[in-house]
Every structure is written in C-alpha cells, then in structure tokens.
Structure 1
C-alpha cells in the first residue's frame, strides 16, 4: 500500500491498480464501508487496468495503515456528545478525505476522477462534497477541473439518518442484541452478502422490500466459499468499537439526515463543484433493505429540492458487485460521468 499525508499529520494508506494501457481513462476513488476495508476491492483492483480504468481505494481512518482517530475524536463521535462537536468532528473527516482526493490527484497526475462512497462510506462521500467550501480557492479550482462525479454507492440508511418503518421482530443482524457478538458477525456477514429478489422496487413501498435471506435466492451469496485467509484480508472487526459504529448511532440520525440534505441538495455546494461534477447514486437492485430504503429517501430529497441526482440501478447486483459484478459496476460508475 502507498500513503499520502494530509493536514494535521493524518496519513491515509491506499491501494492503486496503476495506469491502464490507454491515455484517456477514468480514475475511480472508492471510500469503503463499515468493517470491510480496501481489501474487499482486491478483485476489482485486479480487473481495473484490463477494463481501462484506474482504481484507488484508501483505507479510512481506523483501518490498516491509516491514522486512527484520536481519543478526543472518538469521544466526539459517541452518543451523549454535543451535536455541535459531533458535526464539527464529522465535517473534519470530510476535509481530510477531500485533501486526500486532491493529494492523490496531484501525485499521480490524474485527469478525470470519479469519487464514490460505498455503504457507510457514502456518508463520508457526502462529507467530502461539503468540504469543498472549506478548502482554499487553489485547491477548489483543481478539484473542479478533475473531479467528474461524486457518487453515493449503496448508501446505508443508518448513516444518513433514515429510520425505517417497523420491521416487526426483524433487526439488522449487526445490531441485534439478542445474538451473541460472535453470532452477530456471522449472521450479518451471511445477510449482507446475500441476494434479495425485491419484487417491485419501482413502487417505493417498504412492504415490497425483502428483509431477510430467502430460500433458493437468485444467486449464491458473495464469498460463500471464501477461505478464512481471504476473508481476513477484507475486514477489520476492531474498527467498529473504535469509532466506526458510533457515527451512525440513532441519537445522531436527525443530524446526519440534515447533513445529507444540506450538502447534497444545496445549490451553493453544487456550484462550488462546478458544472463538470455530477452528483449521482448507484445501487444493486438485489441489495439489502437498508440500502434500498436509503436510495428511496435520497431520491425523494432530490425530487423535493428540485436538484435530483443521477441514479443508476445495477441489474441483479447485491451489495458486493466489486466482487461479483465488476464490469457492470464500472459501467454504472462511468455512466455517472458521461454527459
């Protein structure tokens, strides 16, 4: 892994697929999600050059090779902190990541860049979008030239403050306290990597979303036959308790929802990014309930604001197209860039 240092001595480690065998290529910078770090994108990284793309995946703070949160930052992101301190700390993470985007663009001479945030990383992508107002004009000018798209990819409802309607006795396995900690991880992994044949997504009716794995799913879940070594190379289970889970705590939902609205659907923010940068969202049509619900809420926000996002559905894909549907994923990202 390579590293880049940004302000306040913060270091981000990242993987880079390298130069494709052509001059006119798109670089995709992806922010990973909760637990699953840059190692999750290894197959996508290996495939990128052959498909004509460059893929760069930084590890967010708390994950291998990157600077962990300070004790002060960890405390600021815990339930019970003041919302002002929580918001300031979150926005600071967006600024650090925006500095990473600018830094890696300069170091590698990148011309055309799409920045995507996957799963929980979609909140950090949102924070990057808002941080454009905090950087000097010199940095802003560079970003306006090179960044062609800001993409929410399979956003997680809990990270954007979207409470779901009642699901009866069902809970997201990672937060189901009826399960032991070990059982939560196992059950969550089987659930989040599954395929869900939602029957009527166009209805935007919660009742049409399948919550739990079904018998005889349309495809075998991702990584079903992964070796323990392969799985270990994708995850860091310790990051959750060191600050990554608390960011999406229910007490912060009104704040993260307001941030999503204020950043993504504010004319001043979009103007700062310039006309070349599209605000977009992609998702797998067979992804988990938390993703489908978040997509619908964000779509509704865009419609209400009069500033809709480009939305691209990946047919048949679940939450892990970076493993199972790499070509379709790159094509979806590329469609967010094309005018």
Structure 2
C-alpha cells in the first residue's frame, strides 16, 4: 500500500477463520493522527472486525502535499469567494480520489468480504472523525464522478462500502453556520492566545467534557422544528458550555502520558500555514463545506451507492461545536421534508456522557457505535 497518497498507520488484520468480517476504516481529525485510535485495535477480533487506521496527507507516513497543493490552499485565502470555492472543490475532489484509491487497493490486496447489506455483515464501514468528516462528505459527494480504471483498478466499491460515518463532526466541517456570539468560542480563533500556541490549546480544549444543558424544553422544541428562527437558534446555542470543561472527568489530553501524546498528536498541519489550518480558513468563508455537505446528502446519481448508510455518531459531552452539528443536521433534514426535497436518509447514534475522545476513554462504546445496527433515523 506504499503507492497510495494516504497511509495505513495500523491494521489489526482479519479475524482468524472469519469469511464475513467487517472492515472498519477510520480517518483522523485536526492535529491528531490515527494513533489516537490505537485502543480500538485490541477489540477488533472480538467484534468480527478488521480495523484499519488511516493517516491523511501531511501526517506521519502519508505523502506530504506538494508545493502546488499548498499554493492552492494559500491562494484560496486571498482569492475572491467564487475562485476560492472552485479551487477548493477541485482540491476536495482529489481527496475523494485518494480515499477511493486507498479503499480499492486495500480490497484488491486483501480480498476482503463483500458487503452483505441485508445480513449487515462484511464489507467496509468507513468513518471520518472530527475534521476528517470532510473526507467522508467528499467521498459521498464525488465518488460517482471519480473515473474507474487506474483509480480503482476495476474494483466496484459500491459492492464493499456498507456505511459512511460522520463521527463527532464540528458544525463548520459540514458547512453549517455558527451560533450567534458569544456562543461560538474556539481557541483556534481566540486573539488572546498567541498563534503559535493555538493548536496545542485547542487540543486540550477539544478533549474536555462539557456539561451542556441539552435537555431544556427550548432545545427540544428547536431540534424538532421544520423551520427554525434566529430566536430558536439563540435559545439552543445558549444551552451550550463553550469554554469551561468539567474538572472530572478531566480532559483526555491531560491524562495521556508523554509517550501517548507523542504517538498521536501531530500539530504541524493545524499550525498557522499548515494544510489543515489553511483548508479551514479558506474553506469556511467560500462555502466549500456547504457544497460538500449538500452533495453528500443528495440522492446519489450512481444507483449502486443508494444502499450505503450515512451515519452520524455524536458525543453529548463533547465540545459544543459537535452538538451544534446534531441540531443543524436535524433542522436541515426536517426542512427538506417540509419542502418535499429528497435527501439521503441519515441515521444517528448518540453516546451519552461521552466526549470527543470516546475512542480513547471508552473504546468499547465507540466501536459499538460504529458497528451497531441500532440507530435513530433523523
């Protein structure tokens, strides 16, 4: 697999003697690479699952972005919105190609079991955590337009991919608008924090447990509504704790050993001028994440991809950004139903009391959320 742009950081291997195991492929988020999923690996065989942890470009083991790629990201920062949007859509189409390439080559090299949709066995379940969700929305949006042949060597991925997971995605990665100020705090955009320190401060903040007041009547009403006013959104946003995490449980980062941090945290792509940082800064104002979301939620033009489940896994004590995604997904789908607009069906699994790093703190629960067939329909 060394000839793919993405890198397989770790592979649990197939469960001994199984001919119908599920292959779970996970793509990491912002500043953390797939070493953060390491606690899932020992659980794989017991769940009839092969776990494959993937590192994105500019992270350890993967192909660095070229100077030309970085130039595209830099240009999007200063181009007008239409030009930046076109540049970044093309950039994300290339990321979809890389995911397709990796999956197809992995299928070829390992002869993994075909997806059995009715029996809910075999095939591939692929998920992107946090910022990695953008790679999942790109996959759903652009797979039908990715040419066959050299890219996938003739592998029909629709016969293998069974589920695509948006795992605890921040709202902006799915192109949703932020809540009204002051309910939109993120240390990456805090001018009081020196730019060189923002990524590391963010890593601690994002790994905390937050006591949101999400069971209030205002939020319940807003989350069920088919149209949402600014007042409804303000009422929903006001239920979030945006800065102060709980002291117990402590932030996940605070309990990791130095060796564990070194094996999973990789700030460079998230630091100022890094590829992830540039993609966030250029992608939000030009609307590329909105385009990715809408294309991902649209009914596929390739009929074979209609059977693939889209799942949203979210943690209700994670940072406010991910719970805000939950309400916005509900609002978007409810709005579509009201208008008679056809969207993909999206299922949801809520992990109560879990934070953004549930795969580290409670790996059994995280794995069960990825693999279970019990899910709510939005």
TM-score in terms of structure 1 length: 0.89
Describe the shift of the 1:22–1:302 C-alpha distance in structure 2 as closer, same or farther (beyond 3 A).
farther
Kept in 1, the 8 Å contact 2:55–2:62? The answer is yes
Describe the shift of the 1:160–1:261 C-alpha distance in structure 2 as closer, same or farther (beyond 3 A).
closer
Aligned mate of 1:209, from 219, 240, 244:
240
Kept in 2, the 8 Å contact 1:261–1:301? The answer is no
1:131 deviates by 2.6
Aligned mate of 2:10, from 1, 9, 15:
15
How far, CA to CA, are the matches of 1:269 and 1:248 in structure 2?
Answer: 28
Could you say which residue in structure 1 is the equivalent of 2:34?
Answer: 38
| Comparing 73-82 and 128-137, the one that deviates more | 128-137
Describe the shift of the 1:261–1:119 C-alpha distance in structure 2 as closer, same or farther (beyond 3 A).
closer
Aligned mate of 1:232, from 262, 274, 280:
262
1:40 deviates by 0.8
Could you say which residue in structure 2 is the equivalent of 1:132?
Answer: 143
Instruction: Tell me the secondary structure at the aligned position of residue 330 of structure 1.
Output: helix
Kept in 2, the 8 Å contact 1:22–1:52? The answer is no
| Comparing 318-327 and 195-204, the one that deviates more | 195-204
Describe the shift of the 1:269–1:317 C-alpha distance in structure 2 as closer, same or farther (beyond 3 A).
farther
Structural RMSD (CA) = 2.5
Could you say which residue in structure 1 is the equivalent of 2:132?
Answer: 121
1:306 deviates by 4.2
How far, CA to CA, are the matches of 1:153 and 1:215 in structure 2?
Answer: 22
Structure 1 regions of 5+ residues with no counterpart? none
Alignment of 1:1-339 (within 5 A): 3-6=1-4, 10=5, 12-23=7-18, 24-78=20-74, 79-81=77-79, 82=83, 83-111=85-113, 112-136=123-147, 139=152, 142-168=156-182, 171-181=185-195, 183-200=197-214, 203=220, 204=223, 205-217=236-248, 219-240=249-270, 241-249=273-281, 252-269=284-301, 271-275=303-307, 277-303=308-334, 304=336, 305-307=341-343, 308-335=345-372
Structure 2 regions of 5+ residues with no counterpart? 114-122, 224-235
Equivalent pairs, count: 332
Kept in 2, the 8 Å contact 1:162–1:253? The answer is no
How far, CA to CA, are the matches of 1:310 and 1:124 in structure 2?
Answer: 19
Tell which structure's C-alpha radius of gyration is larger: 2
How far, CA to CA, are the matches of 1:302 and 1:97 in structure 2?
Answer: 26
Kept in 2, the 8 Å contact 1:152–1:281? The answer is yes
Describe the shift of the 1:55–1:227 C-alpha distance in structure 2 as closer, same or farther (beyond 3 A).
same
| Comparing 195-204 and 25-34, the one that deviates more | 195-204
Partner deviation per Cα, 1:133-190 (whole Å, 9 max, x = no partner): 1234575862111110011001122323323123328631122121124543443222
Partner deviation per Cα, 1:99-131 (whole Å, 9 max, x = no partner): 111211221222211010100000111111123
1:41 deviates by 1.0
How far, CA to CA, are the matches of 1:154 and 1:338 in structure 2?
Answer: 15
Kept in 2, the 8 Å contact 1:117–1:124? The answer is yes
TM-score in terms of structure 2 length: 0.80
Describe the shift of the 1:292–1:267 C-alpha distance in structure 2 as closer, same or farther (beyond 3 A).
same
Describe the shift of the 1:286–1:128 C-alpha distance in structure 2 as closer, same or farther (beyond 3 A).
same
